[in-house]
Amino acid sequence: MRLSKEQLHELIATKLHKAGLTEDHASGVADVLVHADARGVHSHGAMRVEYYAERIAKGGLNSNPEFKFEKTGPCTAIFDGDNGVGHVAAKLAMDEAIKMAKENGVAVVGVRRIGHSGALSYFVQQAANENLVGISVCQSDPMVVPFGGSEPYYGTNPIAFAAPGKDGEHITFDMATTVQAWGKILHARSKNESIPDTWAVDSNGERTTDPFKVNALVPIAGPKGYGLMMMVDVLSGILLGLPFGNKVSSMYHDLTEYRNLGQLHIVINPEFFTGIKGFQEDIATTMKDLNNIKPAPGFDQVSYPGQRSAEREKKYEENGIEIVDHIYEYLISDVVHNNAYDNKSPFAK
């Protein structure tokens, strides 16, 4: 099924409002989910709606949070999300970080006590759209074996970055610190497809191609990814006085409980360094240089980070966003949720 951005946004917002969110917050979540689907990151798009709807309906997300923003220094602040939907809290926190960076050159804003916030690329692009550099990291529940270990300790702990070029084009990347994000496993399950044997391990610690047998993910590049996920956990958990490591709450264990997750935004204003005009020109040059590099065998072109997602978004705008049929059927149904996620392990089927 193919839908326009507007059609998909309306279906998602309507479902989340029916689950208990205010219309404003339901629309805010839909903004982030449609952004993900439009860029081809379906693991963080509409397929997440039923999970959110179940958690909202069962009280595990605060449907009427009291957000609080407190500056703790000229360039630092804490945004307390009161365990509301992370998408909205993270967006508003980035808005505040942008204001601070425009005034003072840099901003570091911790986002405390939130639910899952979706694709981090959305938030760093908020900064890039304002001619600023954006960095965002967030913690997630333990489902990754540390390098050399056999039991999960850290989450997929993603990192996102965006820098503005010219004419509205950005360099953007949004990556899990695992070989692959957990959402990609879910996407493979939704399409009943196998996964590469480099993504995950089963209950015996053996590599698996069956997404339904996954018991833990593995760090990207072994000890290097392990170090990165540790860094993200420190910045978005310990630094904000939140649960960390294997103490981070499970996404699925009890959907009646708040998750108390953390996220950290860092925004840098190029005008305070090299100047925005020169910065944008050099970013644009970087994009062209990368595109002009002779491609390796099997590749048509070297793409700069975020280029293929941006191109995919343009195609979707022309032809509609492809949504898996059973997800579309759920979105148009009268069902709020099917009680499919509560009290499951992180690797529940």
Residue pLDDT, tens place only, 175-212: 999 998 777 887 888 889 999 999 998 888 888 999 99
Count of residues making up the chain:
349
Q: Would you state the pLDDT for residue 215? A: 87
Q: Would you state the pLDDT for residue 204? A: 81
Exposed / middle / buried, residue 194 (Cβ in 10 Å: 0-12, 13-18, 19+): exposed
Indicate the pLDDT class of residue 307, thresholds 50, 70 and 90. very high
Tell me which residues are annotated as active site: 116
Q: Would you state the pLDDT for residue 186? A: 78
Task: Give this prediction's pTM.
Answer: 0.93
DSSP string, 10-27: HHHHHHHHHHT--HHHHH
Q: What percent of the chain has pLDDT over 90?
A: 87
Tally the C-alpha atoms within 13 A of residue 339's C-alpha that lie toward its C-beta: 0
β-strand partners of 79? 69, 111
Indicate the pLDDT class of residue 168, thresholds 50, 70 and 90. very high
Is residue 238 predicted with pLDDT exceeding 80? yes
Q: Would you state the pLDDT for residue 347? A: 60
Indicate the pLDDT class of residue 86, thresholds 50, 70 and 90. very high
Q: Would you state the pLDDT for residue 348? A: 54
For residue 229, what are the contacts with CB-CB under 8 A and spacing of at least 6?
Answer: 144, 154, 155, 156, 157, 177, 178, 219
Indicate the pLDDT class of residue 335, thresholds 50, 70 and 90. very high
Name the DSSP class of 264.
E
**What mean pLDDT comes out for the span 128-153?**
93
Q: Would you state the pLDDT for residue 201? A: 87
Q: Would you state the pLDDT for residue 332? A: 97
Q: Would you state the pLDDT for residue 149? A: 82
Q: Would you state the pLDDT for residue 207? A: 87
- Centroid of chain to Cα 304: 20
Q: Would you state the pLDDT for residue 345? A: 64
Domains defined for the chain, CATH in brackets? 2-275+310-332 (3.30.1370.60)
> For residues 309 and 284, what is the distance between their CA atoms, to the nearest angstrom?
17
The backbone torsions φ and ψ at residue 68, rounded to the nearest 5 degrees and listed phi first, read -135, 130
Residue pLDDT, tens place only, 275-296: 999 999 999 999 999 999 999 9
> For residues 200 and 187, what is the distance between their CA atoms, to the nearest angstrom?
14
Lowest-pLDDT range, 9-18, 210-219, 290-299?
210-219
